[in-house]
Amino acid sequence: MKNMRVAMYYSNQDVRIQEMFVPEISSGEILLKVEASGICGSDVMEWYRIHRVPLVLGHEVAGTIVQTGDDVKQYKVGDRISVSHHVPCNACHYCMRGHQTVCNMLRQTNFDPGGFAEFVRLPAINVDRGVYPLPDHVSFEEATFIEPVACVLRGQRLAGIQPGQRVLVLGSGIAGLLHIHLARISGASQIIATDVSDYRLEAARRFGADVAMSAKDDIPARVREINDGYLADLVIVCTGAPSAILQALHSVERCGTVLFFAPTDKGITIPLSINELFWRNEIALVSSYAGDFRDHMTALELISTGRIQVREMITHRLKLSETGYGFQLVTKAQDSIKVIIEPQR
pTM of the model: 0.96
Residue 278 has a pLDDT of 85
Query: In the prediction, which pLDDT does 24 show?
Result: 97
Domain annotation for the chain: domains and CATH numbers: 3-150+290-342 (3.90.180.10), 160-287 (3.40.50.720)
Q: Computed from CA positions of residues 162, 165, 168, 171, in that sequence, does the dihedral angle turn out positive or negative?
A: positive
The reported pLDDT for the residue numbered 63 is 98
Give the other-Cβ count within 10 Å of 32's Cβ: 30
pLDDT number for residue 276: 82
Contacts 24+ apart (CB under 8 A), 40-48: 40/147, 40/148, 41/173, 41/174, 41/175, 41/262, 41/330, 42/263, 43/9, 43/327, 43/330, 44/12, 44/327, 44/330, 44/331, 45/263, 46/11, 46/12, 47/265, 47/266, 48/263, 48/266
> 3-class SS at 212?
strand
Residue 35 sits at the vertex; the CA angle it makes with 32 and 41, to the nearest 5 degrees, is 100
pLDDT for 273 equals: 86
Give the amino acid at 288: S
Q: Give the chain's largest Cα–Cα span.
A: 67
- pLDDT value at position 277? 82
pLDDT in tens, the chain (345 residues): 699 999 999 999 999 999 999 999 999 999 999 999 999 999 999 999 999 999 999 999 999 999 999 999 999 999 999 999 999 999 999 999 999 999 999 999 999 999 999 999 999 999 999 999 999 999 999 999 999 999 999 999 999 999 999 999 999 999 999 999 999 999 999 999 999 999 999 999 999 999 999 999 999 999 999 999 999 999 999 999 999 999 999 999 999 999 999 999 998 998 888 888 888 999 999 999 999 999 999 999 999 999 999 999 999 999 999 999 999 999 999 899 999 999 999
Sequence-distant (6+) residues with CB within 8 A of 82 are 61, 62, 131, 132, 134, 143, 144, 146, 147, 296, 300
Do residues 319 and 345 touch, judged by C-beta distance below 8 A? yes
- Listed in sequence order, the residues at least 6 apart from 72 whose beta carbon sits closer than 8 Å to its beta carbon are 28, 29, 30, 127
